[in-house]
């Protein structure tokens, strides 16, 4: 089946620093989604990417759909304490009739020291 | 409230008991999903539904039953709860636009403990 490798698993940074995390896949995806999960809450959609090479921003967040369609990255600029949480990538392929299915990364735990 | 809601948010039950987790969405999305989230495993798909009265198994369906008599509701039942079913359960719905935008939105989760 499809595999997603998300890295790093965790990051400890100082407030104000920039952050970068990425996901790589063993197969081609048609969609990349980035979510953030706060403690005790469900994942919240941050950015959705639908075309290879697409670069999309949402405030201080920027995500890109890799040209090979097998990777994506998320950048957070000028981090603030409320950026703390777990960030997940998710990809959707187009294998037969299972294009509804998302494959999830294991998440990146971000800690921001004020 | 608009969006996707789950109830209860927290549940403690005993081994062998039947438990039903509720999920309700106000968007009229066709697809709905149930996931469980566990340390070391991430999010795993239990069951999904493509429309009312259409359901199918996901990655880890054993011990669970679903139904979907109405588009907006997708309950998940643990017929005889086991300790291995202690987890956080998330419901999600899929939004597909005519422009091809295809995303999933998650509920707030139900934290289930089986003693």
Confidence of residue A100 (pLDDT cuts 50, 70, 90): confident
Give pLDDT tens digits for B81-98: 999 999 999 999 998 887
* pLDDT value, residue A95: 61
Structural tokens at position B77: 């039942």
- CA atoms of B29 and B11, how far apart (whole Å): 27
Chain B residues in contact with A104 (beta carbon < 8 A): 42-43
Count of other CB atoms within 10 angstroms of residue A75? 15
- Give yes or no for residue A96 having a pLDDT over 90: no
User: Minimum mean pLDDT among A69-73, B18-22, B95-99: which range?
Assistant: B95-99
Give pLDDT tens digits for A30-52: 999 999 999 889 999 999 999 99
Confidence of residue A101 (pLDDT cuts 50, 70, 90): confident
Burial of A35 per CB tally in 10 Å (0-12, 13-18, 19+): buried
| Residues A9 and A108: beta-carbon distance below 8 Å | yes
Give pLDDT tens digits for A71-87: 999 999 999 999 999 99
* pLDDT value, residue A97: 57
Overall average pLDDT of the B67-76 stretch: 96
Count of other CB atoms within 10 angstroms of residue A12? 9
User: In this complex, do A33 and B103 lie within 8 Å of one another by their Cβ atoms?
Assistant: yes
Phi, psi of B85 (to 5 degrees): -95, 5
Q: Which of B24, B35, B43 to mutate against chain A (most A CBs within 10 Å)?
A: B43
DSSP letter at A59 equals T
């Amino acid at each position: 089946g499809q595999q997603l490798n998300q890295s790093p698993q965790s990051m400890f940074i100082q407030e104000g620093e920039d952050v970068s995390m990425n996901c790589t896949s063993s197969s081609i995806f048609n969609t990349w989604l980035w979510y953030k999960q706060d403690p005790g809450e469900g994942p919240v959609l941050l950015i959705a990417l639908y075309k290879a090479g697409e670069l999309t921003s949402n405030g201080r967040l920027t995500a890109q759909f890799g040209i090979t369609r097998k990777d994506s990255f998320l950048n957070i600029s000028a981090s603030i304490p409320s950026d703390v949480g777990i960030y997940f990538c998710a990809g959707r392929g187009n294998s037969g009739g299972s294009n509804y299915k998302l494959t999830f990364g294991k998440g990146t735990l971000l800690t921001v020291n004020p | 409230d608009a969006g996707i809601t789950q109830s209860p948010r927290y549940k403690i039950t005993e081994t062998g008991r039947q438990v039903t987790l509720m999920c309700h969405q106000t968007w009229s999305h066709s697809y709905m999903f149930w996931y469980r989230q566990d340390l070391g495993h991430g999010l795993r798909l239990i069951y999904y539904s493509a429309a009312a009265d259409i359901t199918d198994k996901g990655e880890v369906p054993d011990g669970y039953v679903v139904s979907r008599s109405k588009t907006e509701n997708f309950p998940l039942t643990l017929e005889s709860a086991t300790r291995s079913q202690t987890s956080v359960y998330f419901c999600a719905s899929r939004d597909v636009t005519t422009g091809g935008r295809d995303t999933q939105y998650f509920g707030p989760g139900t934290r289930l403990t089986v003693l």
